[in-house]
Structure 1
């Protein structure tokens, strides 16, 4: 099987390495293809530009793993809507035997659910421009591929953490972490499990469902995660409060895009029903593995 990774950042590269390790040919598109490992055939591409390399003639699966260049509405639209549209144009112009296109999405399309459980049957209600634009891209994928014989798959990932993604650890270690005054559930997935899920959904024999939630087994309150990290680091418990309570007097209040993730509990039952197994079923295993690898940074 030949897999085209349209977008080969950290997550796309890890997924590409796993495809290659399984014996598949992998072609990776990114702006700086020279940064890709040898097992991924790199090609220079900017999805938002519309000027893309030819689709590999024997490509049977495409993974679209896009990231916006900046946290702005324009950057999100250029990456997710324009980039995906250009990718689909290229596939539909080609004669490649593509049978499956997986789009890496986000649980941000659900917005805030007040701590309730949600799954693939829950109607998306984005709370900000990021979720709204990513949802628009999902709908574009599903509508464009209808009747083409190509199976669309949307993988809505929770907050990705892992190597190089240590924001919460850094906050606890640096003393800036705050336990929310009110309950706030968070959902996450280790980078390696996210990459493994991409490979699994692209290679499984049964035809996959249109949408899957890519989160680990245990939605957790943010405060619980911060307390766990403090204990693992041997540090005092972070204080409780809000971001505003730590802002300097007279500082402007944040506005615009709501806090990422919202307050919801995402179920991964559908993904697990396909036979997928997590290496890091909860934040505890994942963060312990990260700390074991970078402990020298956190004396």
Structure 2
């Protein structure tokens, strides 16, 4: 039987990793909250309606989740903890569904934003600043799923990829912390990391970072990004910063699975962001 993988909350990231997962022999399903949104998902994704607003789901959904790999890409909502109760309620419903169905394993896509407020080099063992509402929300979500069953947390740095070019988000703006390290990862590396995790399941740790490992300053990265865009407005930089400098260490997954980054230096990934999504 072909292995099933269900991407819950299948948005930009889910759609961009789907082809890699399908090529590896996985039958890819993507869940959306409405029928219209589910039907809009293109091959190789099979769209599924799954609002997760109730603890009761149809028998066919439970059957679909049985013996499947599940990737949760549901975003946590407002950047300052808004709608946190809704986010956690949805994750509780997902956890219950997965418990009742009997999944092979789950990968929860979280964010290196959980390290907000920390300085210097940070890895998966860092003590988090839980007095920050955003950090507390991310940490609670991670803990909720890991405690519910065979779930692993994958903390992603800033996402880039086809249709998501970093230069487009900063042109014409002033970026603070110009000398600080930038933490970014391309969707192609996310896809390969997911395959590496599934191929080595279960892993030594239940939480891993994913971020291009080469140290690059924000100034150098975003200068290179904007330079690629012919019509881009210039970006300006300030040494002042609202956050301390922070470098996310992300080689533990390589050590435990044999995964390697296609884009070791985040600047190498910029050309691969120019491809149309």
CA 1:208 to 1:77, structure 2 compared with 1: closer, same or farther past 3 Å?
A: farther
Greater Cα radius of gyration, structure 1 or 2: 1
Describe the superposition over 1:70-118 as per-residue Cα deviations: whole angstroms up to 9, x where unpaired.
5453334423x12211101111222x3x23111111111111223x111
Describe the superposition over 1:114-172 as per-residue Cα deviations: whole angstroms up to 9, x where unpaired.
3x111112122257433221110111122222xxxxx3210000110122222433533
Match of 1:286 among 259, 269, 273: 269
Match of 2:184 among 188, 192, 209: 188
2:38 is aligned with 1:33: yes
TM-score, structure 2 as length reference: 0.83
Mapped to 2, the partners of 1:169 and 1:126 lie a distance apart of 32
2:67 is aligned with 1:59: yes
Mapped to 1, the partners of 2:57 and 2:213 lie a distance apart of 38
Q: Which is worse superposed, 125-134 or 234-243?
A: 234-243
Unaligned regions of 5+ residues in structure 1, if any? 146-150, 245-257, 295-299
CA RMSD of aligned residues (A): 2.8
8 Å Cα contact 2:179/2:217 also seen in 1: yes
Cross-structure match for 1:198: 194
Mapped to 2, the partners of 1:168 and 1:230 lie a distance apart of 5
Mapped to 2, the partners of 1:38 and 1:133 lie a distance apart of 33
Describe the superposition over 1:245-274 as per-residue Cα deviations: whole angstroms up to 9, x where unpaired.
xxxxxxxxxxxxx87xx6310111101112
SS in 1 for 2:82: helix
TM-score, structure 1 as length reference: 0.78
Aligned length: 266
2:160 is aligned with 1:161: yes
Match of 1:275 among 258, 264, 268: 258
SS in 1 for 2:43: coil
Unaligned regions of 5+ residues in structure 2, if any? none
2:88 is aligned with 1:88: no
8 Å Cα contact 1:103/1:153 also seen in 2: yes
